[in-house]
Amino acid sequence: MYTLLSGLWKYMFQKDEYCILILGLDNAGKTTFLEQTKTKFNRNYKGMNLSKITTTVGLNIGTIDVGSARLMFWDLGGQEELQSLWDKMLEASSLVSVAECYPQQRSFHSSLEGNTCLSVGDIKTAFSDCASKIGKRDCLVQPCSALTGQGVNDGIEWMVKCVIRNIHRPPRQKDIT
């Protein structure tokens, strides 16, 4: 009887799970973004001291519940040695690409170097070369701060709507091209 009631309980209250991959160069703020997300969406999560976050070697995993969806975030280290794993992880329901808005010497677009923060338009321009590879996937450049948490809620809520709406999780190859 317990097994029947336990199964019924799980069936009625289980959430659909979606794997979210967080990618970006090393020290771009991926783990800080994950910590802000967990803090904002998990009531009892106290969070790490953001100033104590160090370079991720390997990966961090975090889970949040948003409405009827459970998002499992995979924060993969950005070191060059780990970047070869990125394409193997693209079976995810969604991808968060963290780009540091204060370009440094390794900037992804050399004409954007300087000490001023990049605008959303500048970031979209830098990623425009990839537009043909994105295909029919939903895409959003969401300004946010991993340090203050500003804009994190908006980005996560948009992503939840997209992954729930997407019939094919993850999108099939023919939907990409």
Residues tagged in the binding site annotation for Mg(2+): 31, 56
Query: Cis omega before residue 143 (within 30°)?
Result: no
SS3 26: coil
User: Which residues are CB-contacts of 116 (< 8 A; sequence separation ≥ 6)?
Assistant: 102
Q: CB of 93 within 8 A of CB of 163?
A: yes
Q: At what angle do helices 30-41 and 152-165 cross, to 10 degrees?
A: 80
Length of the chain: 177
Residue numbers belonging to the annotated binding site for GTP: 24-31, 78
Residue numbers belonging to the annotated binding site: 24-31, 56, 78
SS3 4: helix
Angle at 171 between CA 169 and CA 173, to 5 degrees: 140
Tokens linked to 74: 């995979």
